[in-house]
Structure 1
């Protein structure tokens, strides 16, 4: 019997998914290597990994999206495999190729497969070839907003404007009114360019009030393609999932068979190897349409693990070594699982993301409770990255027991210091649309959820730990040392800043101020300085935790900018005046 080769796995990600992969590495007796942005220097995944290396920066482009830095660390650390997690570079062809060109094992599909399925237009064409169900759409990216308007007039609203190289809800906009089509197209292009480096978008008809159903697929290099379960991910805000469950409840057997067959056919046609997800939309009248393939591990993968007994990250590690899938056919689901994404967001205030420091993180325990977390009390939630703190996964013998256990677990869960979606989750579990008739759909939060929630107390984020770098010698070897910049900040500087802020607040008419609705980067002014605006005009966009937040004029008058584009602002900071 051949001795198993020990591997060192570099995890090109952060937060809870990095922690999840570290645990799988321990189960396989593999070493784990973490990477981190400056602000993540003391993050949980950094503490848990066998080794950790800094990326010297705080923006996504300088850190978790910087291929050259990550490959250099992989080579320096002696890594043999690279796991991308989800988001960031997980579906980037050039990263997969760079990993392979460096002589390392890429834990994911072949770059050629990612290229085909990552291009949503090519993926759509492939789905047509295998006879998968589809709605009407464009066969190539559109060139401008005029083409979007023409498509909307021809095929009717709503329409989906989708980044051709996007995923995870980024670069996806749904237009419900004709007067918002152009702005949503521009917004989708901006989001896609920032997130994926390419802004091309294509169009599809958007099914009215659809459910979001997906199939979890595992495929190996030996020709085995297996669907291991279905999930429902309909409960979303801004096209980002909040609550997911497996198996997909109240799903007609005929529809389920369509989903399973189409998923296997698409993945087989694309020569898929690894763990992936095929997503569909299901209209209220039973019309099914292929949406996309995510060529990576999904955030919601734990609900499938809990109802099938299959460790999907272990499967990824096995398949990357050339081993076959551990099962050969779709297993019968055991029980029911529901996942709640615990985001740092104020649900009562439009799900605005909130940065800050967690002061209390008291987690639930007991039967049927699993928590995948990337934080603990004392952890910093930076404004630079997404708002996901943890995932609460609840398992029961059936859906009713899972709901009962979820109510108990959510009642026990306490997070202080930053806002969280916990109050929203608790209210959802009291809503008959979710618990009884299951009338939820992808826009249910925007259109049907009208339960009052108390806004979270606004917390001013602490200054994030920007590192100051210097060099020291250790045993004659020159080493780079990073120290938190705040160590060099004296009390007098803080007092000066406070006094300056006080002067601004005291000498300004508060009725004129335009406050930042959220902490983040002032991405773009949509109205030039000294221009007239009307009440209700959209005047700026702030990027926070991978979301675009609109700034709306609260009165008419002349707009006076207080900050330039690219400036980081705290929530409630005055960014302009309207005089």
Structure 2
């Protein structure tokens, strides 16, 4: 093996490129039109285009990727995770082309790719499975009958799925038909297969997975566990190793069960066997992921092994360099996934990453797929990066993660960093009470939704930035001191809040800044790139700052991002325009760019509050637009299959007329 094509994008492509470089292997990147200037393209030794932005026309095109590998003279292909990583036809196409597939045999992918087949195989090898239905009869009538036999609540799962797609929790029979239809539709779109299985829902479980590694010489080992219980929309967002719920004896039993599954399927390379762990310590097989996992870095931290390099070495035919007896877990590691999405609504965010400044320091690792200036598009998963920390104990790892999240700065797109901060600061997380319903049980989003005040340091930094209006746009702080003089009034809007400050320059680097509540002496200490160090009454702070294209100020402080706009005085004409805009009905807009997959109402229909109106698919997930109140649908702007921009009006909803004689 001398040259490896990476059939992927984003942070995992970057991760594999770096592993190849350390092994002396040349790397070949592929990219869609949307990724022409992406980080993985910039880092690879060679890069080739493979098609338009949609994944089905680029990263999922087997014949095109094989052709590029042959053109580039690559003798191996690493699929990463997602896309083609668990597609048996891709592994076979590599084999037929004489290219090494860095992963398991196609037969293993095929058998484990079906959750139904995998569950049957696990049960046949004395591995506990969740009670349910995995039969071939997929008729709605049979599935409904089986659901009633299993009992509610239950889980509908796409047989060919992963990442939470094609999965629905159903708590009563009345909701089953609609949930089944949604799961099948999502599964068909994501995996080309709408087969599902039903499982009894185990309430408040932990999600624990075992990392396995197998070579071509009959050696199969497990590398401890990862707990991945903190999830949103059935997708993991925080993972850690080891799990506080596992004793050495339970770890050994789960590890040995995972090895039995791997041996039974003739596995080779890295893989993960996933289990659900109930409150009584009973574990049940969920599925096997026949690829590298997103959360593999936590295993690398606690074992000291490089899983990507081991994948490549196993693919070259080398035996595993360690035995089971040599595996020991050292310290504690936690991974937090950084997504471009709203921390409360979880809706994805797209746009240009104006500033990307991840934290640094001992025991901190950043696996990133973007850098400052890169674009986040609607075409792919919204994960930007992974933050991984390692420390001697879990308590120390949590403290390190909190510090790192506080120092994380991302501007230009909305991120889930505030959600991650709220999770790791919660007493239940510190206590290790991490179950799959953690976010709902502790109402994390509700706490974030509560209005908070703009930090004084952010408002002061914005005011100082605006005082430098005469400075070049490329360096707004270059002549900041020259903009002083008499006391100046500044007013800013942040969401619904307005902040008024008065500033007066005292010397070249110092200002008096006062608000209605208090007064500060603000001193500019230093600026490097977007990072600004300043002191308020002697206490130092670090703020990242840049300007948006419309002139608004984007600021990042202690892990949170703020967008401030200067407020101009309202004229009579402006007030009249606001009044004229009150139409008496609502225009329901698309929360992000996407594709209309279902229209549930017609013009003239009367709807109730919270009634689903339209289903929008964006970033591989479905989002339902609901009626905020009862009323009558005046217009439906788009049909099924339409591509819409964020902010596009989807539904015109007239408010219901109040009863006659009401106030």
Q: Taking structure 2 as the reference length, what is the TM-score of the superposition?
A: 0.77
What is residue 283 of structure 2 aligned with on the other side? 288
Answer whether contact 1:368 1:395 (CA < 8 A) is retained: yes
**1:529 to partner: Cα distance:** 5.0
Question: Pick from 70, 80, 87: which aligns with 1:75?
Answer: 70
Paired residues of 2:229 and 2:435 also in contact (CA < 8 A): yes
Counterpart of 2:633 in structure 1 is 558
Q: 1:129 to 1:422 in 2, by over 3 A?
A: same
Q: Is the 8 A contact 1:336 1:398 kept in 2?
A: yes
- C-alpha contact 2:633 2:651 (8 A) present in aligned 1: no
Task: Give the drift of 1:522.
Answer: 2.2
1:288 positional shift: 1.2
- Per-residue Cα deviation, 1:409-467 (whole angstroms, up to 9, x for no partner): 1110011111111001111121111112x222112212323452159999xx99xxxxx
User: Counterparts of 1:543 and 1:148 in 2: how far apart (Å)?
Assistant: 25
Tell me the SS of whatever aligns to 1:54.
strand
Q: Give yes or no for the alignment of 1:337 onto 2:333.
A: yes
Q: Which deviates more, 57-66 or 516-525?
A: 516-525
Q: Is 1:509–2:583 an aligned residue pair?
A: yes
SS in 2 for 1:340: strand
CA distance in 1, matches of 2:91, 2:584: 51
Q: CA deviation at 1:528?
A: 4.1
Alpha-carbon distance, 1:334 to partner: 0.8
- Other-structure match for 1:573: 648
d(CA) in 2 for partners of 1:153 and 1:559? 40
2:105 equivalent among 110, 118, 122: 110
1:322 aligns with 2:396: no
- Structure with the greater alpha carbon radius of gyration: 2
Q: In the aligned structure 1, how far is the partner of 2:35 from the partner of 2:217?
A: 39
C-alpha distance in 2, partners of 1:283/1:408?
32
Which of 229, 241, 253 is the matching residue for 1:246? 241
1:305 is the counterpart of 2:300:
yes
Q: For residues 383 and 634 of structure 2, what CA distance do their matches in structure 1 show?
A: 35
Q: Relative to 1, partners in 2 of residues 1:303 and 1:506: Cα closer, same or farther, differing over 3 Å?
A: farther
1:3-402 equivalences under 5 Å are 6-329=1-324, 331-349=327-345, 351-402=346-397
Structure 1: gaps spanning 5 or more residues: 1-5, 463-502
SS in structure 2 of the partner of residue 338 of structure 1: strand
User: Are 1:347 and 1:455, in contact at CA under 8 Å, matched by a contact in 2?
Assistant: no
Task: Tell me: CA distance 1:52–1:576, structure 2 relative to 1, closer, same or farther (3 Å).
Answer: same
Whether the aligned pair in 2 keeps the contact of 1:141 and 1:164 (CA below 8 Å) is no
CA contact (8 A) 1:141 1:202 kept: no
Greater Cα shift, 511-520 or 126-135: 511-520
Number of corresponding residues: 529
User: Displacement, 1:401?
Assistant: 0.7
Task: Give the CA deviation at 1:192.
Answer: 1.1
Structure 2 residue 523 is matched with structure 1 residue 448: no
Moved more, 180-189 or 523-532: 523-532
Alpha-carbon distance in 2 for matches of 1:310, 1:94: 30
The Cα shift of 1:165 comes to: 1.2
* Candidates 423, 433, 436, aligned match of 1:439: 433
1:538 aligns with 2:612: yes
What CA distance in whole angstroms lies between the structure 2 residues aligned with 1:139 and 1:341?
A: 32
Cα deviation, 1:494-538, whole Å, max 9, x if unaligned, reads xxxxxxxxx9x9889373311112332223223345544332211
Q: Does the alignment pair 1:547 with 2:543? A: no
Shift of 1:86: 0.4
CA drift of 1:388 comes to 0.4
Counterpart contact for 1:348–1:455, Cα < 8 Å:
no
User: What secondary structure, in the 3-state scheme, does the structure 2 residue paired with 1:229 have?
Assistant: strand
Cα RMSD after superposing both structures: 2.1
Distance 1:189 1:348 in 2: 27
| C-alpha distance 408-507 of structure 1, shift in aligned 2 (>3 A) | closer
CA contact (8 A) 1:536 1:552 kept: yes
Moved more, 123-132 or 441-450: 441-450
> Is the 2:224–2:251 Cα contact (8 Å) retained in structure 1?
no
Partner of 1:474: none
Of stretches 506-515 and 332-341 in structure 1, the one that deviates more from structure 2 is 506-515
Choose 389-398 or 505-514, whichever is displaced more.
Answer: 505-514
Query: Shift in Å at residue 157 of structure 1?
Result: 1.8
Cα distance in 2 between the residues matched to 1:335 and 1:341? 20
TM-score by length of 1: 0.88
Rounded to whole Å, the distance in 2 between the matches of 1:534 and 1:454 is 25
User: SS where residue 85 of structure 1 aligns?
Assistant: coil
1:387-536 counterparts in 2 under 5 A?
387-436=382-431, 438-450=432-444, 451-454=446-449, 509=583, 511-536=585-610
Shift of 1:265: 0.5
User: Do the aligned partners of residues 532 and 94 (structure 1) sit closer, same or farther apart at CA in structure 2, a change above 3 Å counting?
Assistant: farther
Instruction: Compare relative contact order (CA 8 Å, sep 6+) and give the higher one, 1 or 2.
Output: 1
Q: Deviation digits for residues 207-230 of structure 1, max 9, x if unmatched?
A: 111100000000011100000110
Aligned-partner Cα distance in 1 for 2:171–2:434:
18
Which region of structure 1 is more displaced relative to structure 2, 55-64 or 445-454? Answer: 445-454
Distance 1:560 1:55 in 2: 40
Distance, in Å, in 2 between the alignment partners of 1:310 and 1:442 is: 28
Separation in 2 of the partners of 1:570 and 1:28? 44
Question: Within 2, Cα distance between the matches of 1:534 and 1:258?
Answer: 52
